[in-house]
Amino acid sequence: MADLICENLSMTFTNPQSGAAVEALKDINFTLKQGELLSILGPSGCGKTTLLNMIAGFLNPTGGLASLGGNVIEGPGVERGMVFQQGALFEWLPVSKNVDFGLRMKSTDAEESAKLVEKWLDIVGLQGFGDTPTYQLSGGMQQRVALARCLVNDPDVILMDEPLGALDALTREKMQSLVLELWKETGKTILLITHSVEEALLLGERLFVMAPRPGRIHKEYNLPFAERGLKESLRDIKQDAHFSEVREEILTMIWDMEEEIMGGA
């Protein structure tokens, strides 16, 4: 079982000039079982991105460790796919070449990768766009390409840092459905950062609300909405009383945190 485990994970940034230390994260502990969908929410600067970067292997923790399937994470790897806010697509390549980038890097057989690319473009709803240059795509389509590029590599965990943050409301809703669909169909573990409370509730089987200074997990929720979202319309779920209740609770929580920061600053 490829569980993602964080044990006392900590990160302290030291400013090389002033020597001042920022405790971005302190003693993060959690276990994410295979196939779980976790969303992380928190005020800006509470260390969400830092946490994700450590799991992805871009940053080395200053304390504790993270492991996936029993292997300690010591650098980036194909088993942990990344989706960034702004696609981070290779604009000099057409869509299909972006999607099969990972396959080409491991010299996969051309025919096989062409099949895989077609399959995943189909799944993310981009059939027929294989030869389109990426700079001609809309923001939503670019994120679909990014998802396909990540999934074609068959990672165990998908890490998303505010993947839908830059999209307009309508596109965003469609993409939220897509993420839920992908989660169901692939059974991948997904860790998704967002700053939208609604999104966190909709796309989180589990939900961590993080608090800043030092960055830590403030409260954890187990939510039914993601499961429901596979069958019901997302808009109906948002009308749900339970949904509104939790949303208000979290909003108040974050509001208080922000107050505290402002007051402290």
Partner 1 sequence: MLEWLSDNRAYVAAVVIIMLVAMFIGSIVIGRKQTALTAKDEVFGDPERTKGGWYWAVCGVSTLLLIWFYFSWGVGRAYFPQAANEMCQVAKLEEVISPIKAALPLGSRYYKSTLLVGRNDVQLTTLRNDFPANAFSAAEQAELKDLIVQIRSLIANSSNPTLLNQKTKDELVNLSGQIRALGDELRAGSRGLTPTAEALAQPKWGISLTEIPLLPTTSKGVLFDNVSAKAQDLTSFFRKVRNHVPVNERIIADVRERIKVLKATNEAGSFDEKTDVARKAYVKGVERIFRRLDDGNIFPAASLDGLNAAIADLDAAKDEARGSLRFVEAVFFPGQGVVKSRTQCTEQGSARWLPKPTDVVATFIQLANPDLENGGGYKGTTLLWWKWLPIADVVGFFFPDWVADVWPGEYARHSADGTITPNFKDKLLSFAQGEVYLGSIPMFEGHIWDSLFRVLVALGLGILLGVPLGLFMGVSKFFKSFFDPLIELYRPVPPLAWAPLILTIFGITDDGKIFLLFMVAFAIMVISARTGASGTQLTKIRASHSLGATDRQIMWNVIMPNAMPEILTGIRIAIGVCWGTLVAAEILAGTTGIGFIENIARTVSNYELIWVTILIMGILGLIFDLIMRWVIDRTIPWRGKG
Ligand X SMILES: Nc1ncnc2c1ncn2[C@@H]1O[C@H](COP(=O)(O)OP(=O)(O)O)[C@@H](O)[C@H]1O
The interface partner of residue 76, options being Mg ion, partner 1, ligand X, none and the CB cut-off 5 to 8 Å by kind, is partner 1
Per CB under 6 A, 44 contacts ligand X: yes
Nearer to Mg ion, 51 or 123 (CB): 51
Host H or E run for residue 149:
helix 139-151
Q: What are phi and psi of 248, to 5 degrees?
A: -65, -40
Strand-by-strand arrangement of the 37-41 sheet: 80-83, 157-161, 189-193, 37-41, 206-211, 216-222
Per CB under 5 A, 49 contacts Mg ion: yes
Q: Which of 26, 48, 149, 188 binds ligand X (CB under 6 A)?
A: 48
At position 60, the amino acid (one-letter code) is N
Q: Which of 3, 12, 13, 261 binds ligand X (CB under 6 A)?
A: 13
Site residues (CB under 6 A) for ligand X, limited to 181-220: none
**Cβ at position 140, least distance to ligand X in Å:** 22
Find the angle CA(54)-CA(56)-CA(62) to the nearest 5 degrees. 15
Helix axis angle, 139-151 relative to 169-186, nearest 10°? Answer: 10
**Cβ at position 144, least distance to partner 1 in Å:** 15
Binding interface with partner 1 (CB under 8 A): 56-58, 75-78, 80-82, 84, 86, 88, 90-93, 101-102, 104-106, 133-136, 146, 149-150, 153, 155
How far does CA 22 lie from the centroid of its chain?
Answer: 24
Beta strand 189-193 with 37-41: parallel, antiparallel or unpaired? parallel
Per CB under 6 A, 45 contacts ligand X: yes
Binding site for ligand X (CB under 6 A): 13, 22, 24, 42, 44-50
